[in-house]
Structure 1
Amino acid sequence: MVFIRDTELSLRAAVALVNTLPETNAEGVDGLVSPSDLDDYLRGFPYTGAIVRDEEELAAVRRIRPRIRGLWEVDRVGAVPLVNAMLRDGHALPQLVIHDGYDWHIHATEASAPLATRMLVEAAMAFAEVIRTDQWDRVRRCAADDCDGVYVDYSKNGSKRYCDTGNCGNRMNVNAYRRRKSAGTG
């Protein structure tokens, strides 16, 4: 295991949120345009606390995506001020909690904080752990030539090259096979 469970869950949620941005997929489709899209996201990545499920909350969640995406555009040192700003803006006050079958873990906002604030702070807390444990090399962008998706590599040997959003690994392997075949080397 590369990260503790709650850090990995928060990182996975951040990846999925960022990968709803239209620039992260070949189709250029925004995956978070309606409250039902947000509901779909929240089914996969549940958050405790108040969830309003209205257009204002959706707009606030949409606004934090580029900030979180910015973490994939900098190195470890460059991520520090971004993470610190997210924590400051979210009025983070880490505290231990236990609930819903989860053992002790850290929440850094009140349950009554707006959903987008809780999402931003949880992402920042997870990235603080990535920085603190010197695992920044696992924060990556997809290596597919037609994808700008993001991911965090959880593999033991750190060898993952493609995101999970568009079947990129299989697509690139097929493309490489076809190139070898047409060149007569495969």
Structure 2
Amino acid sequence: MLFTDDTDAALQAAVALVNSTDEPGDPLGSVADLSAFLASWSYTGRHDATAEELDAVRRLRPSLKALLLADRDEAAALVNTMLARAKALPQLQRHDQWDWHLHAVDPDRPLDERVVVETAMAMVDVIRADEMSRLDRCAADDCDDVVLDLSRNRSRRYCSTTCGNREAVAAYRARQRG
């Protein structure tokens, strides 16, 4: 295990959020979709279930993507800014299926603020472990999504099976033509 379970979950949730899109079929296209997203990633605390909250979470995509794809020094500066802006105060918490782990904002704070802080706290572990290479852009030519590689052998190159399969088919067809 590279990171703690809560760090893995926060990183995976951040990547899923960043890789969601405003295009048709957006996995965060409605308040109900946001509720499902929160449940699937075990987010706890306040959830207003409003269009305003959905918009606030969707607006996080560019800043979180910048954080996830930054170099180590830039990521550290972004984390510090995000945590200071939220007046984060890390504290140990235990709830639901999670053993002791860090929360840095009150569960009654707005959802978008909590998402930023949880992502920033997860990135603290990534930065301290000097594991920024675990985050990269998808290797598919026509994809700009983020890849989180938590594999032991650091072999993940694509954001999804779809991108990997599409690239494999394209390579196969190119070989057949050649």
TM-score between the two structures when normalised by the length of structure 1: 0.90
Q: Which residue is equivalent to 1:175?
A: 170
Instruction: Note closer, same or farther for the CA distance 1:5–1:84 as it changes in structure 2 (3 Å cut).
Output: same
Choose which of 51, 61, 67 in structure 2 pairs with 1:55.
Answer: 51
- What is the aligned length? 178
**Quick check: 2:69–2:146 contact (8 Å CA) kept in 1?**
no
Alignment CA distance shift 1:154-1:180 (3 Å): same
Q: Which amino acid aligns with 1:20?
A: S
Q: Structure 1: how far apart are the matches of 2:132 and 2:24?
A: 27
User: Once superposed, what is the RMSD of the aligned Cα atoms?
Assistant: 1.5
CA displacement 1:90-143 (0-9 Å, x = unmatched): 211000011112111111110111111111100000011100100001111100
Question: Does the C-alpha gap of structure 1 residues 79 and 29 become closer, same or farther in structure 2, counting only changes over 3 Å?
Answer: farther
Judged with a 3 Å threshold, the aligned counterparts in structure 2 of structure 1 residues 55 and 94 are, in CA distance, closer, same or farther, namely same
How far apart, CA to CA, are the structure 2 residues paired with 1:159 and 1:101? 30
Deviation readout 1:14-73 (Å, 9 max, x if unpaired): 000001134xxxx77643232122123113112111111001111111121211011244
SS in 2 for 1:167: helix
Give how far 1:77 is off: 1.1
- Residue 181 of structure 1 aligns with an amino acid whose one-letter code is Q
CA–CA distance in structure 2, aligned partners of residues 40 and 182 of structure 1: 44
Contact 2:69 2:136 in 1 (8 A): no
What residue ranges of structure 1 are gaps of 5+ in the alignment? Answer: none
In structure 2, the gaps of 5 or more residues are none
| Distance in 2 of aligned mates of 1:101 and 1:73 | 30
The correspondence for 2:137, drawn from 119, 134, 141, is 141
Match of 1:100 among 76, 96, 110: 96
**Deviation of residue 175 (structure 1)?**
0.7
Matched-pair identity in %: 51
Deviation string for 1:127-181 (max 9, x for gaps)?
11100100001111100011111121011111211012x6111111111011001
Matches of 2:15 and 2:165 in 1, distance apart? 20
